[in-house]
Chains A and B, each alone.
Chain A
Amino acid sequence: MMIKIQKMFVKDQLKGNDLKIGRYIFNDLKGALKTVK
């Protein structure tokens, strides 16, 4: 899912609120994965 969202960023597909939501989900997943031991 992170890769899918990243591809959407690269394609510049997300604008305005959608971009904020995409960043929020991406960063949330990224932060969660950092906690994994």
Chain B
Amino acid sequence: MIKKSRVPGAASQRCILAPVRGQGYRPAASWVYQIPVLGEAQQAGDSWAAGNYGQSAIHEVTGFLELALFAEDAVVSAWDFFTGLFTKKTVISTTAEVAPKLLGTARMNLLNAVEDKELRGIIDKLYRADAKIGSGSTADWIRDVNDGTHIQ
């Protein structure tokens, strides 16, 4: 942030003022270490010689705050990128993909709950494992087709 540069002797919009003994603050005419001015320097009503920095001082402070926040964001994103190189990637799945694994399908739930062997065989035939229509039950297929000619 601090840089060494030559400031012209004449007052300019963005020059840095350096203290001169007995003369208050004047534009520096020699090589000095400077803090860059953020925002507009020398706003109307500001009087730097009288110590009234006013709007330009507010610009300076807010400008530094913005720079600090920007730097913080840059550091955080760089850190996230760095740690991401060593972290297992998380794949976000849709609800339709996750729900059957967590809640189970109708077929899975019924087969897990049933004890009677004959009823288990009926469930195995009526409920499809890889269902695309409804819960995979034959009843859902009948509702979906809704055509008496297919049903005997």
Contacts and interface: CB of A to CB of B under 8 A. Distances in A.
Interface stretch (B2-10, B39-47, B77-85, B109-117): B109-117
Given A17-B114, A17-B115, A28 B139 contact: yes
Contact of A21 (B114, B138, B151): B114
Interface string A11-33: 00110011001100100110111
B148 A37 contact: yes
Interface residues of A, number: 19
Given A1-B126, A21-B110, A21-B113, A29 B119 contact: no
Contacts, number: 59
B interface, over-half SS: helix
A33 B114 contact: no
B125 interface: yes
Given A18-B116, A21-B110, A25-B122, A32 B140 contact: yes
Nearest to B134: A32
Interface in B84-134: 110, 113-116, 118-119, 122-123, 125-126
8 contacts: A5-B119, A21-B110, A21-B114, A25-B110, A29-B139, A32-B139, A35-B142, A35-B143
Q: Shortest 7 CB-CB distances between A and B: which pairs?
A: A32-B139, A32-B142, A28-B139, A18-B116, A36-B148, A29-B139, A32-B143
